[in-house]
Amino acid sequence: MTPAALPAARRAIAFIWLSVFASLATIGLKFFAWHLSGSVGLLSDAMESFVNLAGALFALFMLHVASTPADEDHPYGHSKAEYFSSGFEGTLIFIAAASILYAAIPRLFKPQELSSLGIGLWFSLASTVLNYFVSRVLRKAGQRLHSVALEADAAHLMTDVWTSIGVIGALLAVMLTGWLWLDALIAIAVAVHILAEGWKLMRNAVDGLMDRALSIEEIQLVHHILDSYSEQAVNYRDLRTRRAGAERFVTVSVLVPGDWSVERAHDLLDEIEARIAAEVHGAHTNTHLEPIYCVIPAAGHGAGSVGAPHAHLPSE
Protein backbone atom coordinates (compact mmCIF):
# COMPACT_ATOMS: atom_id res chain seq x y z
CA MET A 1 0.00 0.00 0.00
CA THR A 2 1.42 3.40 -0.95
CA PRO A 3 1.71 6.18 1.66
CA ALA A 4 -1.05 8.14 -0.08
CA ALA A 5 -3.38 5.16 0.23
CA LEU A 6 -2.81 4.69 3.97
CA PRO A 7 -5.59 5.87 6.30
CA ALA A 8 -5.04 9.44 7.51
CA ALA A 9 -4.83 8.25 11.13
CA ARG A 10 -1.93 5.91 10.33
CA ARG A 11 0.00 8.65 8.54
CA ALA A 12 -0.66 11.01 11.48
CA ILE A 13 1.03 8.63 13.94
CA ALA A 14 4.54 9.59 12.77
CA PHE A 15 3.82 13.25 13.51
CA ILE A 16 2.51 12.45 16.99
CA TRP A 17 5.82 10.70 17.73
CA LEU A 18 7.50 14.00 16.87
CA SER A 19 5.30 15.69 19.50
CA VAL A 20 6.23 13.03 22.09
CA PHE A 21 9.97 13.55 21.60
CA ALA A 22 9.58 17.35 21.60
CA SER A 23 7.60 17.18 24.86
CA LEU A 24 10.32 15.10 26.51
CA ALA A 25 12.96 17.60 25.42
CA THR A 26 10.99 20.64 26.61
CA ILE A 27 10.24 19.01 29.97
CA GLY A 28 13.97 18.62 30.54
CA LEU A 29 14.77 22.17 29.46
CA LYS A 30 11.96 23.84 31.42
CA PHE A 31 12.46 21.91 34.65
CA PHE A 32 16.18 22.71 34.52
CA ALA A 33 15.25 26.37 34.06
CA TRP A 34 12.95 26.16 37.11
CA HIS A 35 15.61 24.32 39.13
CA LEU A 36 18.15 27.08 38.43
CA SER A 37 15.82 30.01 39.13
CA GLY A 38 13.17 28.78 41.58
CA SER A 39 10.57 30.76 39.62
CA VAL A 40 7.01 29.52 40.07
CA GLY A 41 6.25 31.08 36.69
CA LEU A 42 8.81 28.80 35.05
CA LEU A 43 7.46 25.88 37.14
CA SER A 44 3.96 26.48 35.78
CA ASP A 45 5.36 26.52 32.26
CA ALA A 46 7.21 23.24 32.89
CA MET A 47 4.08 21.57 34.31
CA GLU A 48 2.18 22.36 31.12
CA SER A 49 4.84 20.42 29.20
CA PHE A 50 3.84 17.31 31.19
CA VAL A 51 0.32 17.89 29.88
CA ASN A 52 1.76 18.09 26.36
CA LEU A 53 3.50 14.74 26.84
CA ALA A 54 0.45 12.99 28.32
CA GLY A 55 -1.76 14.42 25.59
CA ALA A 56 0.64 13.31 22.85
CA LEU A 57 0.87 9.76 24.26
CA PHE A 58 -2.91 9.46 24.50
CA ALA A 59 -3.26 10.88 20.97
CA LEU A 60 -0.80 8.23 19.79
CA PHE A 61 -2.98 5.50 21.29
CA MET A 62 -6.20 6.99 19.87
CA LEU A 63 -4.67 7.31 16.39
CA HIS A 64 -3.80 3.62 16.50
CA VAL A 65 -7.45 2.92 17.33
CA ALA A 66 -8.70 5.33 14.64
CA SER A 67 -6.54 3.62 12.00
CA THR A 68 -8.14 0.23 12.71
CA PRO A 69 -10.22 -0.91 9.72
CA ALA A 70 -14.00 -1.12 9.98
CA ASP A 71 -15.31 -4.38 11.39
CA GLU A 72 -18.63 -6.08 12.09
CA ASP A 73 -19.13 -4.20 15.36
CA HIS A 74 -17.97 -0.84 13.93
CA PRO A 75 -19.06 -0.81 10.26
CA TYR A 76 -18.33 2.92 9.94
CA GLY A 77 -14.78 2.56 11.22
CA HIS A 78 -13.08 3.90 14.34
CA SER A 79 -12.23 7.47 13.25
CA LYS A 80 -14.20 9.06 16.12
CA ALA A 81 -11.48 7.84 18.49
CA GLU A 82 -9.54 11.02 17.66
CA TYR A 83 -12.14 13.08 19.53
CA PHE A 84 -11.32 11.21 22.75
CA SER A 85 -7.74 12.43 22.35
CA SER A 86 -8.88 16.05 22.13
CA GLY A 87 -11.18 15.66 25.15
CA PHE A 88 -8.51 13.90 27.22
CA GLU A 89 -5.97 16.63 26.49
CA GLY A 90 -8.51 19.26 27.52
CA THR A 91 -9.09 17.43 30.82
CA LEU A 92 -5.34 17.27 31.50
CA ILE A 93 -5.10 21.01 30.90
CA PHE A 94 -7.73 21.60 33.59
CA ILE A 95 -5.71 19.47 36.04
CA ALA A 96 -2.48 21.30 35.18
CA ALA A 97 -4.16 24.68 35.65
CA ALA A 98 -5.42 23.66 39.10
CA SER A 99 -1.89 22.54 40.06
CA ILE A 100 -0.40 25.83 38.88
CA LEU A 101 -2.95 27.85 40.89
CA TYR A 102 -2.24 25.71 43.97
CA ALA A 103 1.47 26.51 43.73
CA ALA A 104 1.18 30.16 42.68
CA ILE A 105 -1.48 31.69 44.95
CA PRO A 106 0.54 31.31 48.20
CA ARG A 107 3.59 32.81 46.46
CA LEU A 108 1.50 35.84 45.49
CA PHE A 109 1.22 36.80 49.17
CA LYS A 110 4.69 35.52 50.20
CA PRO A 111 7.08 36.22 47.29
CA GLN A 112 10.43 34.40 47.27
CA GLU A 113 13.79 35.47 45.97
CA LEU A 114 14.75 34.12 42.53
CA SER A 115 18.26 32.95 41.60
CA SER A 116 20.06 32.44 38.29
CA LEU A 117 17.02 33.83 36.53
CA GLY A 118 18.92 34.87 33.41
CA ILE A 119 20.31 31.39 32.71
CA GLY A 120 16.92 29.82 33.41
CA LEU A 121 15.26 32.10 30.88
CA TRP A 122 17.69 30.97 28.17
CA PHE A 123 16.71 27.35 28.70
CA SER A 124 13.04 28.31 28.65
CA LEU A 125 13.56 30.24 25.43
CA ALA A 126 15.19 27.19 23.78
CA SER A 127 12.19 25.01 24.66
CA THR A 128 9.82 27.70 23.32
CA VAL A 129 11.54 27.76 19.93
CA LEU A 130 11.39 23.97 19.75
CA ASN A 131 7.67 23.92 20.56
CA TYR A 132 6.97 26.59 17.97
CA PHE A 133 8.51 24.65 15.09
CA VAL A 134 6.92 21.34 16.16
CA SER A 135 3.52 23.05 16.41
CA ARG A 136 3.85 24.42 12.88
CA VAL A 137 4.72 20.97 11.53
CA LEU A 138 1.79 19.33 13.35
CA ARG A 139 -0.67 22.00 12.23
CA LYS A 140 0.21 21.64 8.57
CA ALA A 141 0.08 17.84 8.81
CA GLY A 142 -3.25 17.99 10.64
CA GLN A 143 -4.79 20.19 7.95
CA ARG A 144 -3.42 18.00 5.16
CA LEU A 145 -4.55 14.75 6.78
CA HIS A 146 -7.76 16.21 8.30
CA SER A 147 -6.65 14.82 11.67
CA VAL A 148 -8.49 16.15 14.73
CA ALA A 149 -5.82 14.72 17.05
CA LEU A 150 -2.94 16.43 15.24
CA GLU A 151 -4.73 19.78 15.07
CA ALA A 152 -5.59 19.59 18.79
CA ASP A 153 -1.99 18.77 19.71
CA ALA A 154 -0.69 21.58 17.49
CA ALA A 155 -3.11 24.05 19.09
CA HIS A 156 -2.00 23.00 22.57
CA LEU A 157 1.68 23.31 21.68
CA MET A 158 1.10 26.80 20.26
CA THR A 159 -0.69 27.73 23.50
CA ASP A 160 2.43 26.54 25.32
CA VAL A 161 4.53 28.78 23.07
CA TRP A 162 2.51 31.91 23.90
CA THR A 163 2.47 30.93 27.58
CA SER A 164 6.27 30.64 27.57
CA ILE A 165 6.64 33.98 25.81
CA GLY A 166 4.44 35.60 28.45
CA VAL A 167 6.41 33.99 31.27
CA ILE A 168 9.76 35.03 29.81
CA GLY A 169 8.59 38.60 29.19
CA ALA A 170 7.15 39.00 32.67
CA LEU A 171 10.22 37.50 34.36
CA LEU A 172 12.37 39.97 32.48
CA ALA A 173 10.17 42.62 34.08
CA VAL A 174 10.89 41.04 37.50
CA MET A 175 14.63 41.33 36.80
CA LEU A 176 14.26 44.98 35.84
CA THR A 177 11.87 46.09 38.60
CA GLY A 178 12.59 43.70 41.47
CA TRP A 179 8.85 43.11 41.98
CA LEU A 180 8.92 39.46 43.05
CA TRP A 181 5.12 39.21 43.26
CA LEU A 182 5.04 39.44 39.46
CA ASP A 183 6.35 35.86 39.33
CA ALA A 184 3.24 34.46 41.05
CA LEU A 185 0.96 36.75 39.07
CA ILE A 186 2.45 35.38 35.84
CA ALA A 187 1.75 31.81 36.96
CA ILE A 188 -1.89 32.63 37.77
CA ALA A 189 -2.32 34.30 34.37
CA VAL A 190 -0.84 31.19 32.72
CA ALA A 191 -3.34 28.98 34.55
CA VAL A 192 -6.31 31.08 33.44
CA HIS A 193 -5.04 31.14 29.86
CA ILE A 194 -4.62 27.38 29.55
CA LEU A 195 -8.03 26.82 31.19
CA ALA A 196 -9.54 28.62 28.21
CA GLU A 197 -7.60 26.38 25.82
CA GLY A 198 -8.68 23.27 27.71
CA TRP A 199 -12.33 24.31 27.51
CA LYS A 200 -12.00 24.83 23.75
CA LEU A 201 -10.50 21.37 23.20
CA MET A 202 -13.19 19.66 25.30
CA ARG A 203 -15.97 21.55 23.53
CA ASN A 204 -14.60 20.53 20.11
CA ALA A 205 -14.38 16.90 21.25
CA VAL A 206 -18.01 16.84 22.40
CA ASP A 207 -19.07 18.63 19.24
CA GLY A 208 -17.40 15.95 17.10
CA LEU A 209 -18.92 13.07 19.07
CA MET A 210 -22.36 14.64 18.53
CA ASP A 211 -22.05 14.13 14.73
CA ARG A 212 -21.48 17.73 13.70
CA ALA A 213 -22.26 18.55 10.06
CA LEU A 214 -19.52 19.23 7.54
CA SER A 215 -18.15 22.74 7.15
CA ILE A 216 -20.11 25.31 5.15
CA GLU A 217 -17.48 25.13 2.40
CA GLU A 218 -17.77 21.34 2.14
CA ILE A 219 -21.58 21.43 2.08
CA GLN A 220 -21.47 24.05 -0.67
CA LEU A 221 -19.22 21.74 -2.71
CA VAL A 222 -21.79 18.93 -2.37
CA HIS A 223 -24.62 21.28 -3.38
CA HIS A 224 -22.62 22.45 -6.40
CA ILE A 225 -22.08 18.86 -7.57
CA LEU A 226 -25.73 17.92 -7.16
CA ASP A 227 -26.99 21.12 -8.77
CA SER A 228 -24.87 20.45 -11.85
CA TYR A 229 -27.28 17.63 -12.85
CA SER A 230 -30.38 19.85 -12.95
CA GLU A 231 -30.12 20.15 -16.77
CA GLN A 232 -30.78 16.39 -16.93
CA ALA A 233 -34.01 16.88 -14.94
CA VAL A 234 -32.26 15.37 -11.90
CA ASN A 235 -33.12 16.74 -8.48
CA TYR A 236 -32.31 15.89 -4.86
CA ARG A 237 -33.54 16.25 -1.32
CA ASP A 238 -32.83 15.23 2.30
CA LEU A 239 -29.14 16.10 2.13
CA ARG A 240 -27.48 15.27 5.45
CA THR A 241 -23.80 15.30 6.41
CA ARG A 242 -21.65 14.42 9.40
CA ARG A 243 -17.99 14.08 10.17
CA ALA A 244 -16.05 11.65 12.33
CA GLY A 245 -12.38 12.55 12.66
CA ALA A 246 -10.89 12.53 9.16
CA GLU A 247 -13.94 10.78 7.71
CA ARG A 248 -16.91 12.58 6.12
CA PHE A 249 -20.34 11.04 5.55
CA VAL A 250 -22.97 12.31 3.09
CA THR A 251 -26.48 10.92 2.58
CA VAL A 252 -28.87 12.26 -0.04
CA SER A 253 -31.96 11.22 -1.99
CA VAL A 254 -31.46 11.66 -5.74
CA LEU A 255 -34.60 12.12 -7.86
CA VAL A 256 -34.49 11.08 -11.53
CA PRO A 257 -37.17 11.01 -14.25
CA GLY A 258 -39.43 7.98 -13.83
CA ASP A 259 -38.83 6.73 -17.37
CA TRP A 260 -35.08 6.24 -16.81
CA SER A 261 -33.75 2.68 -16.89
CA VAL A 262 -32.28 1.18 -13.72
CA GLU A 263 -28.87 0.99 -15.38
CA ARG A 264 -28.86 4.68 -16.31
CA ALA A 265 -29.93 5.74 -12.81
CA HIS A 266 -27.36 3.45 -11.20
CA ASP A 267 -24.56 4.88 -13.35
CA LEU A 268 -25.61 8.40 -12.37
CA LEU A 269 -25.46 7.61 -8.65
CA ASP A 270 -22.00 6.06 -9.09
CA GLU A 271 -20.85 9.22 -10.85
CA ILE A 272 -22.26 11.49 -8.12
CA GLU A 273 -20.64 9.47 -5.34
CA ALA A 274 -17.27 9.48 -7.17
CA ARG A 275 -17.38 13.26 -7.69
CA ILE A 276 -18.23 13.96 -4.05
CA ALA A 277 -15.42 11.64 -2.89
CA ALA A 278 -12.98 13.45 -5.20
CA GLU A 279 -13.89 16.98 -4.06
CA VAL A 280 -14.69 16.43 -0.34
CA HIS A 281 -11.74 14.72 1.39
CA GLY A 282 -12.61 11.39 2.98
CA ALA A 283 -16.28 11.56 1.98
CA HIS A 284 -18.38 8.39 2.01
CA THR A 285 -21.63 9.06 0.13
CA ASN A 286 -24.81 7.05 0.50
CA THR A 287 -27.40 7.86 -2.19
CA HIS A 288 -31.05 6.85 -2.28
CA LEU A 289 -32.78 6.72 -5.66
CA GLU A 290 -36.31 8.04 -6.14
CA PRO A 291 -38.34 8.64 -9.33
CA ILE A 292 -39.88 11.90 -10.47
CA TYR A 293 -43.18 11.02 -12.11
CA CYS A 294 -44.48 13.09 -14.98
CA VAL A 295 -47.54 15.24 -14.61
CA ILE A 296 -50.12 13.95 -17.15
CA PRO A 297 -53.08 16.21 -18.09
CA ALA A 298 -56.37 14.33 -17.95
CA ALA A 299 -58.74 15.21 -20.84
CA GLY A 300 -61.49 17.52 -19.67
CA HIS A 301 -60.41 17.27 -16.02
CA GLY A 302 -57.39 19.55 -15.78
CA ALA A 303 -54.01 18.22 -14.65
CA GLY A 304 -53.62 15.13 -12.57
CA SER A 305 -50.35 14.00 -11.00
CA VAL A 306 -49.12 10.45 -10.81
CA GLY A 307 -46.82 9.64 -7.93
CA ALA A 308 -45.41 11.95 -5.27
CA PRO A 309 -44.26 15.45 -6.29
CA HIS A 310 -40.64 15.26 -5.14
CA ALA A 311 -39.07 17.59 -7.70
CA HIS A 312 -38.15 20.41 -5.34
CA LEU A 313 -35.28 21.41 -3.15
CA PRO A 314 -35.81 21.44 0.60
CA SER A 315 -35.08 24.63 2.45
CA GLU A 316 -32.16 24.38 4.87
What local confidence, expressed as pLDDT, does residue 250 receive?
A: 93
Q: At residue 235, what are phi and psi to the nearest 5 degrees?
A: -130, 180
**Portions of the chain given CATH number 3.30.70.1350:** 216-305
**Sign of the Cα pseudo-torsion (268, 274, 280, 286, in order):** positive
Q: What is the pLDDT of residues 104-136, one digit of tens each?
A: 777 777 776 666 566 777 888 888 899 899 999
- Which pTM value belongs to this model? 0.59
Cα dihedral 213→214→215→221 (10° resolution): -130
Rg (CA), the chain: 27
Q: What is the per-residue pLDDT for 227?
A: 93
State the CB neighbour count (10 A cutoff) for residue 63.
Answer: 27
Q: How does pLDDT run along the chain (316 residues), one tens digit per residue?
A: 334 434 566 778 888 888 888 888 888 888 888 777 777 667 777 777 777 787 788 888 878 787 777 777 777 777 777 777 778 777 877 877 777 777 777 777 777 666 656 677 788 888 889 989 999 998 888 888 877 778 878 877 887 787 777 777 777 877 777 777 777 787 788 778 778 877 877 887 777 777 778 889 889 999 999 999 988 999 999 999 987 766 788 999 999 998 899 999 999 999 999 999 888 877 889 999 999 865 444 443 333 333 343 333 333 3
CATH topology of domain 3-209: Alpha-lytic protease prodomain-like (1.20.1510)
CATH assignment of 216-305, among 2.40.160.20, 3.40.50.2000, 3.30.70.1350, 3.30.70.560 = 3.30.70.1350
CATH 1.20.1510.10 domain residues, the chain: 3-209
State the pLDDT at residue 301: 38
Give the helix, strand, coil percentages of the chain, each rounded to 5: 65, 10, 20
